[in-house]
Chains A and B, each alone.
Chain A
Amino acid sequence: MIRREVAIVGIGQTGYAKALPSTAWELAVAAVLAALADAGLDPADVDGMCRFAPPFEPVSEPMLVRALGIPELRFFAESPLGGEALGAVIAHAAAAIMAGLARTVVVYRALSQSKGGRFGRADRGGPSGQPAAAPSADIVVPEEDNRSFAWPYGLMSPGQLFALWARRYAAVNRLTEEDLFRALGSIAITQRRYANNNPAAMMRDRKMDWDDYRDARMISEPLRLFDLCLENDGACAYVLTSADVARSLRDDPVYVLSATQTLSPYREPMGIYVGGELLELFPPATAGRLFEQAGVGRQDIDVAEFYDATSYMPLRSLESYGFVPDGQAWRYVAEAGTGPGSPLPVNTHGGHLSEAYLHGMNGVLEAVRQLRGTACNQVAGAEIALVGAPAGSATILAR
């Protein structure tokens, strides 16, 4: 088990914006250098690298090794499936460090959606990285991931996919339209308020009240504009090493208690074809493993950073990670809430909805700041944090 054998010793990020002049390569280099500087390390110290590997990752390990002049990587590993890499990259890094395959592992994620690959536009080099077709030609959808059975009906973006999940959630739990509106809006508005106090957040100067939320255009019912994450340029990185090395580098390393990855048939994005209940694809069993390996319980978690490509995902994550009984998070977020002073503050940086979208990496950085006591929206005395994607790829960190 990982339990405090490995720690995060450095975090780094670029600015986040709808469009930055820099390329994804430049952004990745800047974020990694910032993380190494924060750790008091040099690129020459890096001997391991773990990264997200969706098909549209713009920056490869060879590009970074060359640009940073890293003498040799002894270990590098990639994790597919977008946000499902969130805990996996930490699990891989920790395993490598504990097995002696690497000593200092960098994890990074860079996005440049302004230059192509917008997740919300299937015709501008979407998640598939496909170039736009000629306006008059038929668009032929490849069979890969069985998209050929979904795209012809216009199911082409993650936002639409999670609208299907949110609608199912409302039907199974017998929510009225107003119940669902209040639940999703509570998440979106709370995160916006956190972002308003976060200088790094893209939405720091954009206040949002219930009227703003309600009046925003409907994108894919029941999800409105502000239920969907931002699309942006930016990069994040962090550095992991063994606990012993970590303590020699700084007084406040953030220890990894556990990290999980998970894969079963018909996981996202194939969950639409699952034979069982769609909502159960956010599996409690994986969360159980996460807590068991960490040696802590739900009541020990002081702050949670949940992956939020849409506002629905933190809602369901409160249930799937066991903080709120199944089918009750919609009421919980509207009543107890997830803001400052609530039983479990969630997405205290503003999340993907209001800080920036970086495949959950910015949630890891926020958890590190919370545990160092340096967050903008600091949870007083935070000692243990959970960062998780909805389907169970997650980590528990501690100071």
Chain B
Amino acid sequence: MAIIPAVTDLTRPYWDNARAGRLVTQRCASCGNSWHPPLPACPHCHGTDIGWREVSGAGTVYTYTVVRHATHAALADQIPYVIAIVELAEGPRLVAGITGCAPQDVRVGMPVRVRFTAVTAEVTLPYFEPAPSPSPTPPSTPAPTP
């Protein structure tokens, strides 16, 4: 039993890219702003020409919690696990699990990088793991102008 996202027209590109090993966020073709989770229009210029751009997968832990009590039966065998808000090097934040280190070793500000985990045949979730160095790799496409 896995807990998986419903895939909608709005969110399909995010999940399709994740399955292909790419982390993407929406970006406005008109003004270049970027955000997550997906929206139907640009909240900055209200443009509707919304594209997707791949991000580097580098980020830092903005905050986190170590969950030691399962709130869902599907998670009982995963306790303890870490939920974090990860701030991407490109700016947007997303919710993700942290793997690749002991839960007690996670810290606010810790550099992390994306690590994709297939949870079903159709769904791959971006997780994050400690990054070897604090300097993130450059994004594969240029960051938008603020």
Chain A residues within 8 Å of B, Cβ to Cβ: 120-123, 126, 133, 135-143, 146, 148-157, 159-160, 163-165, 167-168, 171, 217-223, 265, 272-275, 278
Q: Is the CB of A168 within 8 A of B37?
A: no
Q: Is the CB of A160 within 8 A of B65?
A: yes
Q: Is the CB of B4 within 8 A of A171?
A: no
Q: Is the CB of B73 within 8 A of A152?
A: no
Query: With contacts A142-B6, A160-B83 known, what are 16 further pairs, Cβ within 8 A?
Result: A135-B73, A137-B1, A138-B1, A139-B74, A148-B5, A148-B11, A151-B5, A152-B119, A152-B125, A154-B71, A154-B97, A157-B71, A167-B63, A220-B66, A220-B69, A278-B63
Q: A138-B120, A143-B8, A149-B5 are in contact. Are A154 and B75 (CB under 8 A)?
A: yes
Q: A149-B95, A273-B94 are in contact. Are A221 and B63 (CB under 8 A)?
A: no
CA distance A139 to B3 in the complex (A): 5
Chain B residues within 8 Å of A, Cβ to Cβ: 1-6, 8, 10-11, 35-37, 43, 62-75, 78, 81, 83, 85, 91-97, 108-109, 119-120, 123, 125, 127
Q: Is the CB of B71 within 8 A of A140?
A: no
Q: Is the CB of B65 within 8 A of A164?
A: yes
User: Which of A139, A152, A153, A219 is in CB contact (< 8 Å) with B1?
Assistant: A139
Q: A120-B71, A150-B95 are in contact. Are A221 and B3 (CB under 8 A)?
A: no
User: Which of B8, B37, B72 is in CB contact (< 8 Å) with A121?
Assistant: B72
CA distance A274 to B85 in the complex (A): 10
User: Which of A153, A168, A219 is in CB contact (< 8 Å) with B125?
Assistant: A153
**Which residues of B are found within 8 Å of A159, using beta-carbon distances?**
71
Q: Is the CB of A154 within 8 A of B108?
A: no
Q: Is the CB of B36 within 8 A of A273?
A: yes
User: Closest residue of chain A to B87, judged by CB?
Assistant: A275
A320 CB to nearest chain B CB (Å) = 17
User: Which of A146, A165, A265 is in CB contact (< 8 Å) with B63?
Assistant: A165
**Which residues of A are found within 8 Å of B1, using beta-carbon distances?**
133, 135-139
CA distance A275 to B62 in the complex (A): 11
